[in-house]
Structure 1
Amino acid sequence: MKNKTLQDNLPFKDEDESLIFNHYSFCELIKHIMVKYGKIPYQEANEKLKQSFLINTPNTFEDVYQLTHELEYHWAMLLLHGNMYWTKGIPSDFNGFKDEYIKWEKEIIKKYNLKKTCEYSSL
Protein backbone atom coordinates (compact mmCIF):
# COMPACT_ATOMS: atom_id res chain seq x y z
CA MET A 1 0.00 0.00 0.00
CA LYS A 2 1.21 3.47 -0.72
CA ASN A 3 0.10 6.86 0.48
CA LYS A 4 -1.58 9.11 -2.08
CA THR A 5 -4.39 11.59 -2.01
CA LEU A 6 -7.47 9.86 -0.65
CA GLN A 7 -9.93 8.90 -3.38
CA ASP A 8 -13.24 7.13 -3.76
CA ASN A 9 -14.20 4.72 -6.56
CA LEU A 10 -11.08 2.52 -6.44
CA PRO A 11 -11.79 -0.75 -8.37
CA PHE A 12 -10.51 -4.17 -7.20
CA LYS A 13 -11.06 -7.77 -8.35
CA ASP A 14 -10.25 -11.25 -7.18
CA GLU A 15 -11.28 -14.61 -8.68
CA ASP A 16 -14.87 -14.45 -7.45
CA GLU A 17 -15.93 -10.85 -7.03
CA SER A 18 -15.15 -7.26 -7.74
CA LEU A 19 -15.57 -4.24 -5.54
CA ILE A 20 -15.29 -0.51 -5.47
CA PHE A 21 -13.49 0.78 -2.38
CA ASN A 22 -14.29 4.33 -1.33
CA HIS A 23 -11.11 5.17 0.54
CA TYR A 24 -11.83 8.88 1.04
CA SER A 25 -15.28 8.13 2.49
CA PHE A 26 -13.88 5.34 4.67
CA CYS A 27 -11.24 7.64 6.20
CA GLU A 28 -13.58 10.58 6.53
CA LEU A 29 -16.10 8.46 8.44
CA ILE A 30 -13.35 7.25 10.79
CA LYS A 31 -12.40 10.87 11.54
CA HIS A 32 -16.00 11.79 12.31
CA ILE A 33 -16.32 8.76 14.60
CA MET A 34 -13.25 9.94 16.51
CA VAL A 35 -14.81 13.38 16.87
CA LYS A 36 -18.23 12.10 17.99
CA TYR A 37 -17.30 9.10 20.14
CA GLY A 38 -13.75 10.06 21.09
CA LYS A 39 -14.67 13.67 21.80
CA ILE A 40 -11.65 15.17 20.05
CA PRO A 41 -11.51 18.06 17.57
CA TYR A 42 -11.69 17.24 13.84
CA GLN A 43 -8.14 18.51 13.25
CA GLU A 44 -6.77 16.13 15.89
CA ALA A 45 -8.71 13.25 14.32
CA ASN A 46 -7.29 14.22 10.94
CA GLU A 47 -3.73 14.16 12.34
CA LYS A 48 -4.25 10.78 14.01
CA LEU A 49 -5.50 9.32 10.74
CA LYS A 50 -2.60 10.83 8.77
CA GLN A 51 -0.16 9.10 11.15
CA SER A 52 -1.79 5.69 10.67
CA PHE A 53 -1.53 3.02 7.99
CA LEU A 54 -5.24 3.55 7.20
CA ILE A 55 -4.28 6.54 5.07
CA ASN A 56 -2.30 4.31 2.67
CA THR A 57 -3.99 3.59 -0.62
CA PRO A 58 -4.67 -0.15 -0.96
CA ASN A 59 -3.15 -1.90 -3.98
CA THR A 60 -4.91 -5.25 -3.89
CA PHE A 61 -8.22 -6.86 -3.05
CA GLU A 62 -6.53 -8.32 0.05
CA ASP A 63 -5.43 -4.85 1.16
CA VAL A 64 -9.06 -3.70 0.98
CA TYR A 65 -10.19 -6.76 2.93
CA GLN A 66 -7.64 -5.94 5.65
CA LEU A 67 -9.18 -2.47 5.99
CA THR A 68 -12.83 -3.49 5.78
CA HIS A 69 -12.94 -6.66 7.88
CA GLU A 70 -13.25 -4.42 10.94
CA LEU A 71 -15.87 -1.76 11.61
CA GLU A 72 -14.90 1.85 10.99
CA TYR A 73 -15.81 2.36 14.67
CA HIS A 74 -13.11 -0.15 15.66
CA TRP A 75 -10.45 1.63 13.61
CA ALA A 76 -11.42 4.99 15.13
CA MET A 77 -11.15 3.65 18.69
CA LEU A 78 -7.87 1.90 17.86
CA LEU A 79 -6.38 5.19 16.62
CA LEU A 80 -7.64 7.03 19.69
CA HIS A 81 -6.93 4.55 22.46
CA GLY A 82 -4.37 2.08 21.09
CA ASN A 83 -4.20 -1.67 20.89
CA MET A 84 -6.48 -3.64 23.21
CA TYR A 85 -8.53 -0.50 23.90
CA TRP A 86 -11.53 -2.65 24.87
CA THR A 87 -9.63 -3.80 27.98
CA LYS A 88 -9.88 -0.16 29.15
CA GLY A 89 -13.69 -0.29 29.16
CA ILE A 90 -14.12 1.24 25.69
CA PRO A 91 -16.60 -0.72 23.56
CA SER A 92 -15.08 -2.58 20.60
CA ASP A 93 -18.27 -2.14 18.59
CA PHE A 94 -21.43 -0.07 18.68
CA ASN A 95 -23.84 -2.86 19.67
CA GLY A 96 -24.59 -1.18 23.01
CA PHE A 97 -25.80 1.95 21.21
CA LYS A 98 -26.56 0.57 17.75
CA ASP A 99 -29.75 2.53 16.97
CA GLU A 100 -28.17 5.86 17.93
CA TYR A 101 -24.97 5.04 16.02
CA ILE A 102 -26.72 3.97 12.82
CA LYS A 103 -28.88 7.11 12.85
CA TRP A 104 -25.81 9.30 13.46
CA GLU A 105 -23.79 7.53 10.75
CA LYS A 106 -26.54 8.05 8.17
CA GLU A 107 -26.66 11.75 9.04
CA ILE A 108 -22.86 12.11 8.68
CA ILE A 109 -22.83 10.25 5.37
CA LYS A 110 -25.56 12.51 4.02
CA LYS A 111 -24.15 15.74 5.48
CA TYR A 112 -20.67 15.17 4.03
CA ASN A 113 -21.79 13.36 0.86
CA LEU A 114 -19.82 10.21 1.72
CA LYS A 115 -20.15 6.92 -0.10
CA LYS A 116 -20.57 3.41 1.23
CA THR A 117 -17.12 2.03 2.12
CA CYS A 118 -17.34 -0.92 -0.30
CA GLU A 119 -19.64 -1.80 -3.13
CA TYR A 120 -19.38 -5.50 -4.02
CA SER A 121 -20.49 -7.36 -7.12
CA SER A 122 -20.13 -10.92 -8.38
CA LEU A 123 -18.08 -11.63 -11.48
Structure 2
Amino acid sequence: MDIVDGLVFDDAGGGSVVFNYRTWVEMLCAVMCDYAGKSRQESELLVASSAVVKNAAASHMSVVLCSHELEYHWAMLIAYGENYWAHGIDPTEPDGYVEWEQAYRRRNGLADESFLYIDA
Protein backbone atom coordinates (compact mmCIF):
# COMPACT_ATOMS: atom_id res chain seq x y z
CA MET A 1 0.00 0.00 0.00
CA ASP A 2 1.20 3.48 -0.81
CA ILE A 3 2.03 5.78 2.07
CA VAL A 4 -0.54 8.51 1.44
CA ASP A 5 -2.94 10.55 3.52
CA GLY A 6 -6.69 10.13 3.44
CA LEU A 7 -7.00 6.34 3.71
CA VAL A 8 -10.51 5.47 4.93
CA PHE A 9 -11.22 2.35 6.98
CA ASP A 10 -14.82 1.48 7.85
CA ASP A 11 -15.84 -0.43 10.95
CA ALA A 12 -18.70 -2.89 11.35
CA GLY A 13 -20.77 -0.33 13.24
CA GLY A 14 -20.93 2.11 10.34
CA GLY A 15 -18.24 4.47 11.57
CA SER A 16 -14.88 4.99 9.98
CA VAL A 17 -11.41 6.26 10.59
CA VAL A 18 -9.39 8.37 8.18
CA PHE A 19 -5.73 7.46 8.41
CA ASN A 20 -3.32 10.15 7.29
CA TYR A 21 -0.58 7.59 6.78
CA ARG A 22 1.96 9.90 5.13
CA THR A 23 1.54 12.44 7.94
CA TRP A 24 1.92 9.72 10.58
CA VAL A 25 5.10 8.35 8.99
CA GLU A 26 6.58 11.83 8.58
CA MET A 27 5.82 12.64 12.21
CA LEU A 28 7.54 9.43 13.36
CA CYS A 29 10.67 10.44 11.46
CA ALA A 30 10.53 14.01 12.77
CA VAL A 31 10.11 12.88 16.38
CA MET A 32 13.09 10.54 16.06
CA CYS A 33 15.22 13.34 14.65
CA ASP A 34 14.21 15.98 17.19
CA TYR A 35 13.71 13.88 20.32
CA ALA A 36 15.80 10.74 19.84
CA GLY A 37 18.80 12.38 18.19
CA LYS A 38 18.60 10.25 15.05
CA SER A 39 19.67 11.61 11.68
CA ARG A 40 17.02 12.03 9.00
CA GLN A 41 18.52 9.14 7.05
CA GLU A 42 18.60 6.87 10.10
CA SER A 43 15.04 7.74 11.12
CA GLU A 44 13.75 7.04 7.61
CA LEU A 45 15.53 3.68 7.56
CA LEU A 46 14.19 2.72 10.99
CA VAL A 47 10.64 3.71 10.04
CA ALA A 48 10.79 1.93 6.69
CA SER A 49 11.95 -1.30 8.34
CA SER A 50 9.45 -1.17 11.23
CA ALA A 51 6.78 -3.88 11.27
CA VAL A 52 4.46 -1.43 13.03
CA VAL A 53 4.72 1.01 10.14
CA LYS A 54 4.60 -1.66 7.43
CA ASN A 55 1.40 -3.13 8.88
CA ALA A 56 -0.24 0.09 10.07
CA ALA A 57 -2.66 0.34 7.15
CA ALA A 58 -3.40 -3.38 6.83
CA SER A 59 -6.90 -3.18 8.31
CA HIS A 60 -9.32 -1.09 10.33
CA MET A 61 -8.07 -2.79 13.50
CA SER A 62 -4.42 -2.07 12.75
CA VAL A 63 -5.20 1.62 12.21
CA VAL A 64 -7.20 1.74 15.45
CA LEU A 65 -4.34 0.12 17.36
CA CYS A 66 -1.84 2.63 15.96
CA SER A 67 -4.12 5.51 16.89
CA HIS A 68 -4.15 4.55 20.56
CA GLU A 69 -0.63 5.86 21.11
CA LEU A 70 0.87 9.23 20.22
CA GLU A 71 3.50 9.49 17.52
CA TYR A 72 6.02 10.18 20.28
CA HIS A 73 5.52 6.70 21.75
CA TRP A 74 5.75 4.92 18.39
CA ALA A 75 8.88 6.89 17.45
CA MET A 76 10.61 6.02 20.72
CA LEU A 77 9.56 2.38 20.35
CA ILE A 78 11.01 2.25 16.83
CA ALA A 79 14.16 4.16 17.83
CA TYR A 80 14.93 2.32 21.08
CA GLY A 81 12.93 -0.92 21.07
CA GLU A 82 10.44 -2.63 23.34
CA ASN A 83 10.26 -1.39 26.92
CA TYR A 84 12.36 1.66 26.03
CA TRP A 85 11.11 3.33 29.23
CA ALA A 86 12.87 0.63 31.29
CA HIS A 87 16.19 1.80 29.82
CA GLY A 88 16.07 5.43 30.89
CA ILE A 89 14.02 6.86 28.01
CA ASP A 90 11.15 8.93 29.39
CA PRO A 91 7.83 7.73 27.91
CA THR A 92 6.20 11.09 28.64
CA GLU A 93 6.20 13.70 25.91
CA PRO A 94 8.64 16.48 26.82
CA ASP A 95 7.46 19.96 27.75
CA GLY A 96 6.52 21.87 24.62
CA TYR A 97 5.98 18.71 22.58
CA VAL A 98 2.41 19.50 21.54
CA GLU A 99 3.37 22.98 20.33
CA TRP A 100 6.40 21.58 18.49
CA GLU A 101 4.21 18.93 16.82
CA GLN A 102 1.56 21.42 15.70
CA ALA A 103 4.20 23.79 14.32
CA TYR A 104 6.00 20.94 12.51
CA ARG A 105 2.75 19.81 10.89
CA ARG A 106 1.96 23.35 9.69
CA ARG A 107 5.50 24.05 8.47
CA ASN A 108 5.60 20.83 6.47
CA GLY A 109 2.09 20.84 5.01
CA LEU A 110 0.96 17.80 6.97
CA ALA A 111 -2.53 16.94 8.17
CA ASP A 112 -3.56 18.43 11.52
CA GLU A 113 -4.25 14.92 12.84
CA SER A 114 -2.94 11.51 11.81
CA PHE A 115 -6.24 9.81 12.69
CA LEU A 116 -9.74 11.21 12.28
CA TYR A 117 -12.68 9.22 13.62
CA ILE A 118 -16.06 9.66 11.96
CA ASP A 119 -19.14 8.36 13.80
CA ALA A 120 -21.93 6.62 11.96
Q: Same fold (TM over 0.5)?
A: yes
CA RMSD of aligned residues (A): 1.3
Q: CA deviation at 1:70?
A: 1.3
1:20 equivalenced with 2:10 (yes/no)? no
Unaligned runs of 5+ in 1: none
Mapping of residues 74-89 of structure 1, within 5 Å:
74-89=73-88
> SS where residue 3 of structure 2 aligns?
coil
Q: Distance in 1 between matches of 2:2 and 2:14?
A: 29
SS in 1 for 2:91: coil
User: Does 2:97 correspond to 1:101?
Assistant: yes
Q: 1:6 aligns to what?
A: 3
Q: What stretches of structure 2 of length at least 5 have no aligned partner?
A: none
CA deviation string 1:72-106 (max 9, x = no partner): 10111011111111011111121x52xx1011101
- For 1:110, the equivalent position in structure 2 comes to 106
Q: CA deviation at 1:55?
A: 3.1
What does the per-residue CA deviation read over 1:37-73, in whole Å, with 9 as the maximum and x for residues that have no partner?
Answer: 0111111100000110213351321010121111110
